[in-house]
Structure 1
Amino acid sequence: MKNSNSKTSALSEKEGVAAPEILKTKSAAAIQGLRKKQPSAEELISGILAGNITSLSRAITLIESTNINHLAKANTIINACLPYSKKSIRIGITGVPGVGKSTFIEAFGTYLTGLGKKVAVLAVDPSSTISHGSILGDKTRMEELVKDKNAYIRPSASGETLGGVARKTRESITLCEAAGFDTVIIETVGVGQSETAVHSMVDFFLLLKISGAGDELQGIKRGIMEMADAIVINKADGENIAKARAAKVEFNRALHLFPAKNSGWNPKVMTSSSITKEGIEEVWKTITEYLKLTSDNNYFEVKRQEQNQYWMMETIEEQLKNDFYNNPTIQKLLIENKKAVQNNELSPFAAATVLLEHYFKK
């Protein structure tokens, strides 16, 4: 047996086929090599500031990680990039599924890169509540823009975040700005109660609508329309042109019923077509008019400061929640209390009180 193994090993080496022992050694070495190849925080920071897309993508993956061990490295990168951010225009784009957000963003983004802009698109895909997976198909829907050297598209899973805003989208904006992107577009999952989260991280909030889907104002929450700085009736081409114009009139009437904005801006309603590119230039012209107005009256800077405070509070809440659920004692007690609640031995409120008392006594 010994001689047979020796012959097999020798034959394997001679013929270029690794013996089991060699394979194990090589696998371990390969895994160790991959671990060693992980770039340091300093290397990622240097890459981001140099505009390296690979470094940017790796850093965003790091800050999106739920692994508690990645938190310190992610914070180091974010803090180092912070002084180089704040130089972009942040645009939030929302609308119901099927309104054509991805095709509009591709047409709009391509127009902007044609003007010499560097455009980053942070597209948030919905996560399944059953499998917790996401399709992340925005790159396939933006075939033209994804090939543009002045554009960067980053799809992210919404995870368990209410409203479809990825948990680390705010930090991703900072990294994209540090990498030299002067226009950051955030595409949301769709219209929902937590669209305020998008509004709280952008300078300009754009609501996309389509015509011919029944009552033009039905299903649109007042709060969403109040937040919108502009409404664009999308897919205004072919037989939809007349319907889009009619919808524009209705939305204009509706906007006049809302109170004046603190920014001093009067929201506009436009029509556009991602196919013919009609209206795309007008959308950008409207955004630049808004930026000039809010820069002149100082609202732009005030809003950014308020947003920073908002995200500080959000981060505190998020880290407290993560610390709570990652606590080993709480994890054990949580299982016990869940069973007690399920068996009606303890009320949900009493169980929550028990868990919180243990947590704060730690």
Structure 2
Amino acid sequence: MENEKIKNTALNEKAGISPPEIFSAAVVKNIQKFRKVQPSSEELVQGILSGNITALSRAITLVESTNPDHLAKANEVINACLPHANKSVRIGITGVPGVGKSTFIEAFGKHLTGLGKKVAVLAVDPSSTISHGSILGDKTRMEELVKDENAYIRPSASGDTLGGVARKTRETITLCEACGFDTIIIETVGVGQSETAVHSMVDFFLLLKIAGAGDELQGIKRGIMEMADAIVINKADGDNIRKAKLAKTEFNRALHLFPAKRSGWIPTTATCSAITQDGIPEVWETISKFIELTNGNDYFNVKRSEQNEYWMLETINEQLKLNFYNNSEIQTLLESNKKAVQNDEISPFAAAQILLEKYFKG
């Protein structure tokens, strides 16, 4: 009797039908077989130059790898792609978390692809310092742009580098340019110091702000404001329009306090809404004017030459650090010196000197 009552309620689970197969076993097998095959550097280069996105993605994965065995292969690919690179406009976009970077980039990217541009978005996602995991959710947030055949979104974990922008990001730009992308957008984590690294690898540096966040009066401070080629107040829609216009005026006043830029460009301020698309076309017009001006006075090429020199030195520093910590003798000595420093048996500076002397003598 009790069982009969349960059957007549909504709590009763009725027997359903078996769900259909959502994938083909044959297709899965082919994909697994394909992934096991490691293409040669020549095959990757040919794929990249022909615009193959799969080859581009695999080459970027190779560049990002920390496996020493992948380094030589990655360098071969990059060197072969280098003559076909340097034909794009590189745009750095930064702003604090919550300013709407991803939403802005999607709206901006869709506008560019509508103009016939090929857009590559290199989005850096914060990594946990504990688990080293990363959400890599940019493709989810940019759901319209990711479906655009003229756009490519590559989210990468920030790792332990400054804002996640390091050698891998710089070389990824080269690969994307060789693949035919004429507009490269780099989105930073927005943690503060990463902007310096982004500024050293882009042509135009865009700072996103939101009204009412208390930043207006801080605009007179040097640093990020001084690096910006344009400040755009995002989320200028609905009840926020008046606040955004007021913030624009305040930031515009602050920009006039800074010395003139070497490029001859006068930084601009603007408002936009990634939701309503208002102001998005004007952002690209501003960037186009900047490129026209800096190409005319040759600052564009001078800056890129300086950036190449900067990243050569950064790569040397990074490689020295990597070699130091991967040295087996140093690893053993490092552990004993760590304990000695923790127990106040030796100063951190003396311990560091011992390790460095051992490394260079070895």
TM-score by length of 1: 0.89
Equivalent residue, structure 1, for 2:280: 280
Within 2, Cα distance between the matches of 1:150 and 1:188?
22
* 8 Å CA contact retained: 2:220, 2:257: no
CA deviation after TM superposition for structure 1 residue 167, in Å? 4.3
* Runs ≥4 residues deviating over 3 A: 32-36, 217-221
Equivalent residue, structure 1, for 2:115: 115
* 8 Å CA contact retained: 2:166, 2:197: no
Equivalent residue, structure 1, for 2:142: 142
Equivalent residue, structure 1, for 2:207: 207
Equivalent residue, structure 1, for 2:333: 333
Equivalent residue, structure 2, for 1:245: 245
Task: Show CA shifts across 1:42-82 (max 9, x none).
Answer: 11111000100000000000000011111000000000000
Correspondence 1:1-362 to 2 at 5 A: 37-218=37-218, 221-362=221-362
* 8 Å CA contact retained: 2:220, 2:254: no
Once the two structures are overlaid, the 10-residue window that deviates more, 185-194 or 225-234, is: 185-194
Structure 1 residues 338 and 144, CA gap change in structure 2 (3 angstroms): same
Secondary structure of the corresponding residue to residue 154 of structure 1: strand
Secondary structure of the corresponding residue to residue 339 of structure 1: helix
Once the two structures are overlaid, the 10-residue window that deviates more, 179-188 or 221-230, is: 221-230
Q: Number of paired residues?
A: 332
Aligned AA (1:80) = A
Within 2, Cα distance between the matches of 1:35 and 1:238?
48
* 8 Å CA contact retained: 1:94, 1:188: yes
Structure 1 residues 35 and 150, CA gap change in structure 2 (3 angstroms): closer
Once the two structures are overlaid, the 10-residue window that deviates more, 159-168 or 314-323, is: 159-168
Task: Show CA shifts across 1:199-238 (max 9, x none).
Answer: 0000000000000223523388521011000000000000
* 8 Å CA contact retained: 2:88, 2:181: yes
Within 1, Cα distance between the matches of 2:36 and 2:249?
61
Structure 1 residues 183 and 237, CA gap change in structure 2 (3 angstroms): same
CA deviation after TM superposition for structure 1 residue 108, in Å? 0.1
Aligned AA (2:185) = I
Within 2, Cα distance between the matches of 1:235 and 1:164?
26
Equivalent residue, structure 1, for 2:17: none
CA deviation after TM superposition for structure 1 residue 191, in Å? 4.5
CA deviation after TM superposition for structure 1 residue 194, in Å? 3.5
Within 1, Cα distance between the matches of 2:34 and 2:236?
51
Unmatched runs of 5 consecutive residues or more in structure 2: 1-29
Equivalent residue, structure 2, for 1:8: none
Identity within the alignment, %: 80
Task: Show CA shifts across 1:111-163 (max 9, x none).
Answer: 00000000000000111111111111000000000000000000001111123
* 8 Å CA contact retained: 1:158, 1:167: no
Secondary structure of the corresponding residue to residue 222 of structure 1: coil
Aligned AA (1:275) = I
- Taking only aligned residues, the RMSD between alpha carbons, in angstroms, comes to 1.6
TM-score by length of 2: 0.89
* 8 Å CA contact retained: 1:229, 1:268: yes
Within 1, Cα distance between the matches of 2:56 and 2:167?
17
Once the two structures are overlaid, the 10-residue window that deviates more, 258-267 or 334-343, is: 334-343
Equivalent residue, structure 2, for 1:14: none
* 8 Å CA contact retained: 1:146, 1:153: yes
Within 2, Cα distance between the matches of 1:200 and 1:50?
29
Secondary structure of the corresponding residue to residue 168 of structure 1: helix
* 8 Å CA contact retained: 1:164, 1:189: yes
CA deviation after TM superposition for structure 1 residue 164, in Å? 3.3
Within 2, Cα distance between the matches of 1:35 and 1:102?
30
* 8 Å CA contact retained: 1:124, 1:166: no
* 8 Å CA contact retained: 2:219, 2:254: no
